[in-house]
């Protein structure tokens, strides 16, 4: 457990999670998931939730040792099972307007030494079972939020050469800085940051580009954007009318690409940590929106299994723009955690799109999302393709090029 010296920033992070991340409303229930190690933050969040008028706070805990016990001792058939009853219950809670909060912090390499086939089977079973609840999140039916906690096992992955206390302190400071809770007034800091992101997304929406063209080392990619797409960034309004910040931290503006309109090739610029496996030097080729070839210098077996999850897994569900000078990029740290690492660089996501990234996203139907080019899948996996060597041009509806990024920065 991080030292008591972190009591103040942990309390600030809890307050930001409730008042900025969720904007939890009076009488609203909250469903929270967290690793056991994050108990100090869970307690503070619960306190702030009730002070804010929460109806009922329900927390589901996970534990690394118990997760690993399954891989070490469970019968083979276990890896095709998932707690569908639990996710059906979560979906029912979301139907009743419960908010969702996830605390990230597990050891990102926890499953790196386990049987990749079993990991893939367990992930697929879980993704399938989670679908009723995920649809409420991806459809932005409710206000939801993710924050992180400096779990000791995560700290040791990031800072393996430091003593435990030092490693935890370094990760804690990095999380608090990225989450903007290391300042006197985090609520005001988030208001200013949200306003800046709104300026970027409003400009992009005004341009209404047909496509984005990426060029750089190992990259020449044209990404068509979905018909009627809409850019978002920072605070967004869920279908239940609550304006929340789903991701803390966040540095991105993002929208939905057209699932049939990606052409060319692209190389990852940072490693992807996926379900305990590090996947590095990803190189893929797109034709007609679909990945037709893929390789990686590390974790290739896991990558290829992910791409075969379902029909939509080889197509894109999100494109996001992040300047190379973002605070997370400037920290020089690899967090092995997508929530942070995706905010260090421009990225794309395999799989499920967000319905909210369309004009009229609060009323759009799944059939309309598909007709306008949105992708559907059991997965949504972000990976980084931006750096200080990447240029991006917007291609207008009439075919003209407009500079958007030059050398990794807003043009």
The pLDDT tens digits for 365-377 are 999 999 999 999 9
**Which of 342, 343, 346 lies closest to 321, judged by CA?**
346
**Which of 140, 50, 143, 156 lies closest to 102, judged by CA?**
143
Domain for residue 32, yes or no?
yes
Domain for residue 326, yes or no?
yes
- Residue 238: both structure tokens together: 């869920």
- Residue 310: both structure tokens together: 């379902």
Q: Does one domain contain both 283 and 392?
A: yes
Q: What is the pLDDT of residue 2?
A: 53
Q: What is the pLDDT of residue 163?
A: 97
Q: Does one domain contain both 159 and 217?
A: no
Average pLDDT over residues 32-60: 98
- Residue 67: both structure tokens together: 């997760």
Q: Do 382 and 348 contact (CB within 8 A), yes or no?
A: yes
Report the percent of the chain where pLDDT is more than 70. 99
- Does the pLDDT value for residue 188 go beyond 80? yes
Average pLDDT over residues 302-324: 95
Q: Does one domain contain both 404 and 265?
A: yes
Q: What is the pLDDT of residue 355?
A: 87
Q: Do 358 and 373 contact (CB within 8 A), yes or no?
A: no
- Does the pLDDT value for residue 1 go beyond 60? no
Counted domains in the chain: 2
Domain that holds residue 11: 4-178
- Does the pLDDT value for residue 77 go beyond 90? yes
CATH number at residue 138: 3.40.1830.10
Q: What is the pLDDT of residue 361?
A: 83
Strands 277-279 and 272-274: antiparallel
Residue 3 confidence class, pLDDT cut points 50, 70, 90: low
Residue 356 confidence class, pLDDT cut points 50, 70, 90: confident
Q: Quote the mean pLDDT of the chain.
A: 95
Average pLDDT over residues 208-235: 97
Q: What is the pLDDT of residue 363?
A: 85
């Amino acid at each position: 457990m991080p030292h008591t010296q972190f009591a103040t920033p942990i309390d600030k992070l809890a307050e930001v999670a409730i008042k900025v991340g969720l904007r939890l409303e009076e009488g609203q229930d909250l469903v929270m998931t967290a690793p056991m190690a994050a108990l100090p933050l869970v307690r503070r969040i619960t306190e702030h939730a009730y002070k804010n008028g929460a109806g009922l706070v329900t927390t589901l805990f996970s534990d690394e040792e118990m997760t690993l016990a399954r891989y070490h001792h469970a019968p083979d058939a276990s890896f095709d099972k998932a707690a569908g009853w639990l996710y059906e219950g979560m979906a029912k809670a979301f139907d009743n307007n419960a908010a969702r909060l996830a605390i990230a912090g597990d050891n990102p390499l926890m499953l790196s030494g386990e049987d990749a086939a079993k990991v893939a089977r367990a992930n697929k079973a879980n993704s399938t079972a989670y679908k009723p609840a995920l649809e409420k999140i991806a459809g932005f039916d409710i206000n939801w939020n993710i924050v992180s906690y400096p779990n000791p096992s995560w700290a040791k992955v990031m800072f393996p050469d430091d003593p435990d206390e030092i490693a935890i302190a370094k990760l804690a400071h990095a999380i608090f800085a990225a989450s903007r809770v290391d300042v006197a007034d985090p609520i005001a800091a988030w208001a200013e940051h949200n306003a800046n992101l709104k300026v970027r997304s409003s400009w992009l929406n005004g341009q209404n580009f047909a496509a984005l063209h990426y060029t750089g080392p190992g990259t020449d990619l044209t990404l068509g954007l979905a018909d009627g797409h809409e850019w978002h960034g920072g605070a967004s309004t869920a279908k239940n009318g609550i304006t929340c910040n789903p991701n803390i931290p966040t540095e991105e503006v993002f929208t939905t690409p057209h699932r049939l309109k990606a052409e060319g090739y692209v190389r990852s610029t940072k490693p992807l940590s996926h379900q305990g496996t590090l996947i590095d030097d990803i190189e893929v080729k797109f034709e007609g929106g679909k990945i037709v070839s893929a390789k990686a210098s590390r974790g290739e077996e896991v990558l290829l299994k992910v791409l075969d999850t379902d029909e939509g897994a080889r197509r894109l569900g999100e494109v996001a723009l992040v300047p190379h000078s973002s605070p997370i990029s400037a920290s020089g740290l690899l967090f092995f955690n997508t929530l942070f690492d995706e905010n260090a660089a421009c990225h794309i996501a395999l799989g499920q799109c967000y319905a909210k990234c369309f004009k009229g996203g609060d009323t759009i139907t799944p059939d309309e999302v598909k007709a306008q080019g949105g992708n559907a899948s059991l997965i949504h996996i972000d990976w980084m393709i931006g750096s200080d060597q990447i240029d991006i041009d917007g291609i207008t509806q009439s075919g003209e090029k407009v500079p958007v990024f030059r050398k990794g920065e807003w043009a």
